[in-house]
Amino acid sequence: MMSSPKDVADWQEEIVSATKKTVCGLYDCYSEVYNKIVGSFQDDGHRLTISGICALIPNKSSRILDFAAGTGLFGKILHSNGYTNIDALDGSALSIEQAKNENIYTKLMVEFVEDKGLSIDNDSYDALVCYGGFAYNHLPVTVLSEWIRCVKPGGYIINSFRIKWMTNCPMYNEGKLETEMERLEKEKKWTLISKDVTDADDDTCVVMYVHQVKKFHGQTTPLN
């Protein structure tokens, strides 16, 4: 049976050595201790991301999807900043159970995007936030198309993760991730609004991409 990681460094080491088949089991295994391990670990990436969200989305009742929500740590930051209409989605059922206990989410979903896409209806959300979803053996680059499908035209997609994965992870390195982003922009599915990077060392440096959904199903009307 997989042992629970004891600290952040231990967790990162296990993630890198995991496979796509075992990574979700690792999340299930550490779901009960995750908040204790990293619950107080709010780095500059968290601050950068919530600052960007508050600037982009002043309406605190906007419907937001916390994608790869885990145990709800970033959802708690959203909620503490006044957002009241947040849904959570993650592949780890036990992590979602922990998130449920926070009483901050309107709806909680356990789904894998790689299985058959998401069960979410088209144009459902005003914004989608993914904090830390891109890492070793985590989300495929094809998830970007599903994100666009789920967000309303004019809505925002805020994607933050440690920048080291863009070179260290075979799923994203050699430009794979940004190439997919650019392809979707050329197809007029979304527009890059900003790309910001925290001032930190190579290991903890976080990059935040903000895209605005341009159109889907022929719709072009932006949100008010």
Read off the CATH number of the domain in which 58 is found: 3.40.50.150
d(CA 32, CA 49): 25
Q: Tell me if 14 is assigned to some domain.
A: no
Residues of the chain predicted below pLDDT 50: 1-5, 40, 217-224
Domain interval for residue 103: 40-213
Could you tell me if residue 83 is inside a domain? yes
Contacts of 142 (CB under 8 A, 6+ apart): 113, 114, 180
pLDDT at 182: 97
What is the number of structural domains in the chain? 1
Of the candidates 175, 179, 189, the residue with the CA atom closest to the CA atom of residue 147? 189
Q: What is the pLDDT of residue 95?
A: 87
For residue 66, what are the β-bridge partners? 88, 129
pLDDT digits (tens, 9 = 90+) for 105-125: 999 999 877 657 899 999 999
Q: Residues 6 or more apart from 20 whose CB is under 8 A from it?
A: 137
In a domain, 21, yes or no: no
Give a yes or no: residue 11 inside a domain: no
> For position 67, what pLDDT does the model report?
97
Q: Is residue 56 part of a domain?
A: yes
Is the residue at 70 inside a domain?
yes
The answer to whether position 218 is within a domain reads: no
Q: Is residue 153 part of a domain?
A: yes
